Amino acid sequence: MKKQISIFLAVFIFFVIILTPAKLVENFIPQNSKLFINGVEGSLWSGSINNLEYANWSVEDLIYELNLLPLLMGHLSAIVEINSGDIKGNFEFNFSNKENITLDDANLEVSLEPLKKYIPFPSIDINGHLLLRNFTFTLVDNKPELVTGLTSWNDASVNFNGQEWMLGHYVIKWRTDIDKRRIIGTMENPENNIVQLMGEVTLSHKGELEFIGSIAEKTDENIYNAFSLFSNGKVKEGRLPIKYKQKLF
């Protein structure tokens, strides 16, 4: 009897998801929420959103399809495609709550504009194209637990006091050291960036972000002087060692 009831409930939930118009979701968003949704079409199971805004992020022409099995276990999981806005591309996500989220197999182009507020130097403006390739990110208890894949900053440039410096292309390959509970990003192809930046980014489980690396001594004087603020020793074999550390959480 219990098995029959479970099957009935599963079938009932399945048809509710398929038949319920997605537009009803708009009625459940709190008035004071940072989330704004407009132009919802389709069903809860499979549909589209014309415009979605959260905080200072905005995307348009979003298409989604829910994954059934995680939903039956109480998780929100979906395959998403975004065609316009601050984020463009496709990914799969699993949402247990706002502190436990997984972004899986993401291939995205991300606008730098919403990220500029996180730059520790307010007088510096950055430009270029930020890309994520085969990127997986897991947040557990509101802390990064797993990161793999590639991020790249293409056609990078920095604007300071009205002057712009072109910096080239930067690629970071991410991996996770589960035993030591840290996330490591290794700079790749240093010959493609003007300052020939090399090194590793490390994020510990305690929220400490650290970069240890070096740049070529023969580079633009102004850029070199800026990086020299983070010097970590004397020039050796034509390279200046640098180190940067910051507490993120």
- What are the start-end ranges of the E strands in 29-181? 35-42, 46-54, 57-66, 76-85, 87-97, 100-110, 124-140, 143-160, 163-177
Percent of the chain with pLDDT over 70: 88
Residue 98: pLDDT band (50, 70, 90) is confident
Q: pLDDT tens-digit profile of 202-227?
A: 999 889 999 999 999 988 888 888 88
**235 DSSP 8-state letter:** -
Does the pLDDT at position 178 exceed 60? yes
- Using CA atoms, how far residue 109 sits from 44, 86, 118, 145, in Å, is 26, 8, 18, 23
Which pLDDT score is estimated for 18? 57
- pTM for the whole structure: 0.82
The tens digit of pLDDT for each residue in 55-85 reads: 889 999 999 998 877 776 777 899 999 999 9
Q: How far is the C-alpha of 165 from the C-alpha of 223, rounded, in Å?
A: 8
How far is the first Cα of the chain from the last one, in angstroms, to the nearest whole number? 50
